[in-house]
Amino acid sequence: MESAAPLGDSTFSMSQKIVLRQTSAIIRKYGAFSLKWQNSSLPMRLIREKATHVELKTKYVQNSNYFEKYIDDLMEYFEFSEEIKMQGDKLIQKYNIAKLEKHQTIYHFDTIHANGIDVVVRNANIDETGFLCVHTRRTDHFAPSGLGFTVPAIKFILNRDKLDKVFMFGDDERFMNDVLNTIKADEKYANIKGIVNFNTTIGEDLYLSSKICSAFLISTSESTFGWFLAFLVQNQEKVYFRHNMRPESGAYSGTMRHMWKPLFQHEETNSIKTLCGNRYVFLFPLCFTE
């Protein structure tokens, strides 16, 4: 197979170039790639690389910046096995829930006035019959999910997207029940429907995420499995994650897709906010939404 022609700088948008610079910073600090690629010009080296395959020796293999422009084509080849479909549909029947129909996202625009500036924001409306799905990770992680962020983040998304059902993915059944019980203890959320999904296979979880989630929260941004669960959600503009813009931090989330929404938590009040638009606006902050 012949290699594609080298790509020029015009191939990438400003936000993508920012991602490349951030990726380069991680490489310089952590030596994430093999020695051949350890230099500050790595992103440009990859753009001009003629090889049909490039091995990336990095733990952040879920970084979609390497294949973002091909995702639509790649997804045409992706299909669950008949066994996984059957097992997943049995779980959906067990939980007495409905699969989301393939939706068409409808866009509308709002104008938000902040700091003397009118900001036009694109919002996405989808079928609100689905769940807010939440991935938690506790038992084998250096930065496990905690109630302090997960609970207020769930409340924030339920309010923002007008949802009333929560579906929990995770490896700690007691913690997931604690999350739901803590939320329901608040009178405002006492009637939400909550489901704890535990002891299922990876394939079943991925199938469920692709079929029932109207929105998705990655409570531990470094979790690779959380990333792939979110990657299969039908509406990619309704994926939220705990965000940290500092590359030197262990909680750096620079591998998230550009349309996913970062959630920021106030250190004193624990309140949750997100950006008005694309997350890269953070570099030129205009406004936050409650």
DSSP assignments along 118-176, one per residue: EEEEEEEE--TTSEEEEE---TT-SS---HHHHHHHHHHHHHHHT--EEEEE-S-HHHH
What is the domain count for the chain?
2
Residues 93 and 204 in one domain: yes
AA identity, residue 21: R
> Which structural domain range is residue 177 located in?
82-289
Residues 109 and 13 in one domain: no
Give the pLDDT confidence score for residue 46 in this predicted structure. 63
The domain spanning residue 244 has which CATH number?
Answer: 3.40.50
Whole-model pTM: value is 0.69
13-61 pLDDT, tens digit each = 444 444 444 444 433 433 333 333 344 455 566 666 677 666 666 655 6
Q: Which of 209, 147, 140, 214 is nearest to 176 (CA)?
A: 147
186-200 pLDDT, tens digit each = 999 999 999 999 999
Q: Is residue 260 part of a domain?
A: yes
With a cut of 50, list the residues of the chain below it in pLDDT: 1-40, 103-115, 118-128, 248-251, 278-287
Q: Is residue 47 part of a domain?
A: yes
Residues 42 and 143 in one domain: no
Q: Is residue 64 part of a domain?
A: no
Q: Is residue 70 part of a domain?
A: no
Q: Is residue 75 part of a domain?
A: no
Q: Which of 247, 249, 287, 280 is nearest to 262 (CA)?
A: 280
